[in-house]
Structure 1
């Protein structure tokens, strides 16, 4: 036999030290546990069994009655039996979510900080030549929001590179995703590999030490429908600066370089090496290089421009695809032409990366060498060619490629013959000296990546031209750091997914939309929202503003200022019946799902009408009664029903009243509000009442006693409370200034501005909140909460042509009542 135990400490009641005490809600717990429960408000606790807020005597638990029935089932004190403890089974409250979960909580927390506000970036001009994809240039405005990882204190010049298309940004959709929702939904639809690569790039620009261009985040351009990566870009043009430097020195035309020429060369080479080493330390490699991949940093140092890398990388891939589109095999002649075309576009691609790109296109290549693995040593091959192009010019590379014998059938021999000719040119330029530098440059061009030196070795050679190795205290340190790293985790950008993402994703998005359009319209409303396919239908019958919507049985019931209650079919949305009898404007209605289902409505004149919804529907009320009123009284404004069998009204007399539904008699009144009681909701054994005085009062449904007052301290700042919504432990109040206030477990959490004007209607399903009001927009929010805070995620909105006065979410459909007499139902459809 299992003996009764305390639901908190799981100790068996014994009638002496562990005594069951009965709370007003009917549940019991031991007195010791009740004493230790937190008291959010004076003389109140939450029942550990049902979570209802109940009164707790100031004298302590000893003032509560004992549960005699439980004590009778307790074991005798001398029984000496060990009582096994049973596991506590908690019922899981499964709440249906009306709107789709576009992303997980973990994804939201990881990416929300990278989304820049829509008004933070403006496009100024485009940079691009010869049909190459253009790099957008713009400005970023000051962003000082603490939710963003990077604070921008002044306008900055930025570069923007297209990442992926934004979803559901067309103007034909009824449901308009919010800007943040579009960006996060776009990111969530990426593959894991694509998200990982993008996250790696963003973090690299955040903790770069000044050698990788600073990343500000992601920005969605609603005009062209694309998401962009935003990076800082200096106004100074590195390529133009270097070209001016080359023209000034004019050592391309010199047969042999002097010491001053090599010193100038070493300075720029050191800067480029430092930038590449910094990028490698972040586990990134480019896979190719050109001067457009670099820019000037904040203090004039050279840094890797990630956006420049992505744009040039797409040019590289386009060139490779163009070269192999005509045939299934690529011979050495075509390989030489491909390499020459890349050099003409100032893109230096190492052989192992080029072979990987060709292999990705499933094109055969006549070469005897197996494809090499790609690591960060691919960048020293490209870096050396960038440096040599400054000394020799890119025309020299094209000439040497043209002179390579076409009889080579092996890639290694083909590249080896070309590198020999480049080395011969170096011998002429450097003369008899600088053997160490020439050897390092030639080793860097080796076909096999394993035979190439690390970038730091090239850096050391260049530094020796500036300062002697004996005085260079950082040389050994830099070399040690580089050699200790592993290339196994490096990510090569040109082989990554972001290079090919935009065109690919646009095509996929269109295919998905076409497939959905061909399907029958039997899907849920959530599916329609996720792909931007929502349909609406008008339900016309009222002659004045709609004031309330409830679902009962097979009907939708609506009330209106036209003094009628209408019943609508839930199957085809047709009008079924009209209830007539009210003499004044109807303000609110509720549905009562008891043994005899009822619909109750109340009007501004104090009339309470009870309608039978059993078939056949009748026009006259089942019963009716009126509140007493005087010259100050202006009727009933709010209705609520509790499972205890009582009906509650709030009105212009500042009172909350409890009525017996059986005979319509007044059971009692609750005093406390200082103005009209405008909103009522019953949840978890508590009646919440909101008023024009801005305060929310909590009343016990068991004895009508006041439990607590919420929002009284800030009632004047937000205006009147217009609507209340309560689900589980969350309470939401809407105000006439367009703001909402949120409480969790009756503890204030947050105030948020959702509308431009009063919020007249709200509906909450699970943690999804739908609001509407004077600004003629239906807004959809998701309440995300953790132990410390509650965050409101704006998913999107439905723009309308009239003020929203009533809202109801039910079975994948959204019902909206308007001030222009119309009721619209939104559902999945073409």
Structure 2
């Protein structure tokens, strides 16, 4: 069932940089007390463990600072944002990865975050989305400016019985409210999408923070969301990835269903840059890939690999590389082949707990990319990956100190001095 407003959904693009002051008008007075404190920058603490055995290694760049397990990461220009189950959110500034700001508030741990212009949206275990804004008085102070659903949205709907839905036995909620933890967020074309353990997908408009739609999307908890050119992909514990699209003024509707393994939860979903390939990570340690076959709605399975010994918890994609993080504490590195298949080019170890989140970005120096990982060991790690040396599929540079590459013939990690 889909609940939606009848108002036109405007396409809104917020172009203000995340961490720059804004001169536009705001209904929120800067005289209100900030919910975050000025945070003195700290030097990154680098840990230098003993050299690893062949086949595994530990990163030399480890960012401590969170009081709880790292649950999500987001990249925004020169900044990296990370959040934890300890409710704290840290902004790291590159290139030296100093702590630029620290803020956070809520009755539940932070499960997901996205950035839109100079705003940060965080999803929490207490079923709320919180909106933070950079203070005009100081660029490293973030203020809580709204909680979704907003009070205005709530007051316009709570009096009418038709706005209530049955969430479980003897429990009713407004359709604009999530009834369980919000596990994931995604942004596209001026809209924020939120997926929850209550099995619903909700659509919020960035410009006025109004809830426009609530979709009964899955038969079990939604674990992952990703968007691509107006199309939304949701991964669920029901073992399915669903594809959602919409016409200009209509509500979202189901465009396709990608079936995973029976009785296996799909925990994450990613999409290739051209939108033709979709990959999902499962609780059985498998990564599956589907290719769009002709028109939207027709998908064929092109990849099915046993990637990890334990559940795949997160994934990211950068050009021809796919990275998978697992409860087995490792990160799998995969090269995309013609047709959508995946070829393993290495395994990164170092986290002392399950790898919960991954993000990748262009390295800015030569070829390759930067990989950021957050784990339940409360740490964030950064790697730089290149594919430049002969016979080396993937090279990982740990803070330019030592280079690690995998030799396909021997399937062993080798060390190369820079």
What's the TM-score, normalizing by structure 1? 0.34
Q: Which residue, out of 203, 206, 209, partners 1:661?
A: 206
1:480-518 deviations in whole A, cap 9, x for unaligned? xxxxxxxxxxxxxxxxxxxxxxxxxxxxxxxxxxxxxxx
1:337-383 deviations in whole A, cap 9, x for unaligned? xxxxxxxxxxxxxxxxxxxxxxxxxxxxxxxxxxxxxxxxxxxxxxx
Residue number in structure 1 paired with 2:253 = 705
Residue number in structure 2 paired with 1:607 = 128
Residue number in structure 1 paired with 2:377 = 820
Q: Report the CA distance between 1:597 and its aligned residue.
A: 2.9
Q: Report the CA distance between 1:656 and its aligned residue.
A: 0.8
**Preserved CA contact (<8 Å) 1:175 1:797:** no
Residue number in structure 2 paired with 1:720 = 265
**Preserved CA contact (<8 Å) 1:763 1:770:** yes
Residue number in structure 2 paired with 1:133 = none
Q: Which residue, out of 278, 282, 287, partners 1:735?
A: 282
Counterparts in 2 of 1:763 and 1:613: CA distance versus 1, 3 Å: farther
CA RMSD, 1 decimal: 2.4
Counterparts in 2 of 1:753 and 1:577: CA distance versus 1, 3 Å: same
Counterparts in 2 of 1:540 and 1:605: CA distance versus 1, 3 Å: same
Q: Report the CA distance between 1:617 and its aligned residue.
A: 2.7
Q: Which residue, out of 794, 798, 801, partners 2:344?
A: 794
**Preserved CA contact (<8 Å) 1:174 1:798:** no
- Are 1:803 and 2:354 counterparts? yes
**Preserved CA contact (<8 Å) 1:641 1:682:** yes
Answer 1 or 2: higher relative contact order, Cα 8 Å, separation at least 6.
2
Residue number in structure 1 paired with 2:184 = 638
Q: Which has the higher helix share?
A: 1
CA distance in 1, matches of 2:55, 2:141: 41
- Are 1:781 and 2:334 counterparts? yes
1:260-301 deviations in whole A, cap 9, x for unaligned? xxxxxxxxxxxxxxxxxxxxxxxxxxxxxxxxxxxxxxxxxx
**Preserved CA contact (<8 Å) 1:174 1:535:** no
Q: Report the CA distance between 1:612 and its aligned residue.
A: 2.3
Q: Which residue, out of 100, 105, 111, partners 1:587?
A: 111
CA distance in 2, matches of 1:794, 1:691: 25
Q: Which residue, out of 195, 214, 230, partners 1:685?
A: 230
Q: Report the CA distance between 1:820 and its aligned residue.
A: 1.3
Please give the secondary structure, in 1, of the residue aligned with 2:61.
Answer: strand
**Preserved CA contact (<8 Å) 1:545 1:560:** yes
Segments of 5+ residues of structure 2 without an aligned counterpart are 1-49, 155-164, 172-178, 293-298, 364-368, 385-396, 402-418
Q: Report the CA distance between 1:541 and its aligned residue.
A: 1.1
**Preserved CA contact (<8 Å) 2:323 2:334:** yes
Counterparts in 2 of 1:613 and 1:794: CA distance versus 1, 3 Å: farther
CA distance in 1, matches of 2:326, 2:376: 10
**Preserved CA contact (<8 Å) 2:323 2:332:** yes
Larger radius of gyration: 1
Q: Report the CA distance between 1:672 and its aligned residue.
A: 3.6
Please give the secondary structure, in 2, of the residue aligned with 1:536.
Answer: coil
Please give the secondary structure, in 2, of the residue aligned with 1:716.
Answer: coil
1:10-58 deviations in whole A, cap 9, x for unaligned? xxxxxxxxxxxxxxxxxxxxxxxxxxxxxxxxxxxxxxxxxxxxxxxxx
What's the TM-score, normalizing by structure 2? 0.66
- Are 1:573 and 2:97 counterparts? yes
Q: Which has the higher strand share?
A: 2
Please give the secondary structure, in 1, of the residue aligned with 2:142.
Answer: coil
Q: Report the CA distance between 1:608 and its aligned residue.
A: 0.9
Please give the secondary structure, in 1, of the residue aligned with 2:377.
Answer: coil
Residue number in structure 2 paired with 1:675 = 220
Segments of 5+ residues of structure 1 without an aligned counterpart are 1-170, 178-531
- Are 1:625 and 2:138 counterparts? no
Please give the secondary structure, in 1, of the residue aligned with 2:262.
Answer: helix
Residue number in structure 1 paired with 2:319 = 766
**Preserved CA contact (<8 Å) 2:149 2:210:** no
Q: Report the CA distance between 1:176 and its aligned residue.
A: 4.2
**Preserved CA contact (<8 Å) 2:303 2:342:** no
Residue number in structure 1 paired with 2:295 = none
1:315-344 deviations in whole A, cap 9, x for unaligned? xxxxxxxxxxxxxxxxxxxxxxxxxxxxxx
